C-alpha cells in the first residue's frame, strides 16, 4: 500500500507540475511588465536634470511634482486638467485647496505636493528680501509679494514693516476680505508699526477677479507702483 500511495502521489505531482509552472510564468510576466509611463517619467527627469526648467512646459513641470504623490498613475492627463482649469503653473500651485479638490483624480497627496512648492517659493523669496534693504531690491519685493498673494481668491491687505535701514522686520496680513473688498484700519496699522519700532511700511493689496488679477504695492504714502 505504501508503494502504491507513493506512486500515486508522484503521478499527481507530475500532472500538476505544468499548471504550476504556467502560473509561475504568468506571475513573473506580470511582475516584469512595466507601465508605459515609467519610461516617460525617467526621460522627463533626465531632461530636467540636463536642460533645466526652460526645457519643460508647464504641464511637464506639474507632472514632475505629481510623480511622487501618484507613483502608479499616468499623471499627464491630470496635469493638463489642472492647467485647463487654472491657466498656468503659478495659478495651479497657488490655487486654494478647496478648488484643487474639484479636479477629479487629485487627492490629499497631490495637493500637499503643490502646496509644498508654493511654501518653498514663498520662503525663498522672503529670504531674498528679509536681510536686504527693500529700496535697493525692489524687484525682489515685488516678486515676493506676487508669489505671496497675487493669485489669492480673496482680497488681502498686507503690510511689510521696515527698520531704519529699510530692511524687513515683519510681513503680516492685516485683513482678508471678499473677492472685491478688504477692510483697512489705519489705526491698527500704526499701532502695529509702533509695536515693532518700524520706521517705514510697505502696503500691499491684491485685486482678484475672474479675468484680471493685479497687485498694488505702496511704499509709505509717497511712492507707489501698480503691477499686474
Asked whether the beta carbons of 150 and 206 are under 8 A apart, the reply is: yes
Domain ranges, ordered by start, for the chain: 36-121, 133-227
The CATH class given to the 133-227 domain equals: alpha beta
For residue range 135-169, list pLDDT tens digits in order: 567 777 787 777 777 677 778 888 888 888 888 88
**pTM of this prediction?**
0.54
Q: Which residue has the higher pLDDT, 139 or 198?
A: 198
CB neighbours (10 Å) of residue 151? 22
Asked whether the beta carbons of 78 and 103 are under 8 A apart, the reply is: yes
In this prediction, residue 151 carries a pLDDT of: 73
In this prediction, residue 114 carries a pLDDT of: 94
Amino acid at each position: 500500500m505504501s508503494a502504491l500511495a507513493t506512486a500515486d502521489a508522484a503521478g499527481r505531482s507530475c500532472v500538476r507540475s505544468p499548471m504550476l509552472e504556467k502560473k509561475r510564468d504568468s506571475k513573473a510576466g506580470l511582475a516584469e511588465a512595466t507601465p508605459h509611463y515609467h519610461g516617460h517619467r525617467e526621460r522627463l527627469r533626465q531632461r530636467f536634470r540636463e536642460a533645466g526648467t526652460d526645457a519643460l512646459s508647464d504641464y511637464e513641470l506639474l507632472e514632475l511634482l505629481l510623480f511622487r504623490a501618484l507613483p502608479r498613475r499616468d499623471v499627464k492627463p491630470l496635469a493638463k486638467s489642472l492647467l485647463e482649469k487654472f491657466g498656468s503653473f503659478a495659478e495651479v500651485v497657488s490655487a486654494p485647496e478647496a478648488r484643487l479638490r474639484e479636479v477629479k483624480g487629485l487627492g490629499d497627496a497631490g495637493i500637499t505636493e503643490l502646496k509644498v512648492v508654493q511654501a518653498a517659493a514663498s520662503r525663498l523669496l522672503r529670504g531674498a528680501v528679509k536681510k536686504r534693504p527693500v529700496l535697493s531690491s525692489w524687484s525682489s519685493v515685488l516678486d515676493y509679494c506676487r508669489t505671496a498673494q497675487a493669485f489669492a481668491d480673496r482680497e488681502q491687505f498686507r503690510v511689510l514693516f521696515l527698520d531704519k535701514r529699510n530692511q524687513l522686520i515683519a510681513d503680516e496680513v492685516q485683513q482678508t476680505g471678499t473677492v472685491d473688498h478688504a477692510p483697512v484700519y489705519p489705526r491698527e496699522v500704526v499701532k502695529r508699526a509702533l509695536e515693532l519700532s518700524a520706521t517705514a511700511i510697505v502696503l500691499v493689496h491684491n485685486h482678484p477677479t475672474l479675468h484680471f488679477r493685479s497687485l498694488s504695492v505702496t511704499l509709505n504714502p509717497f511712492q507707489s507702483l501698480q503691477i499686474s
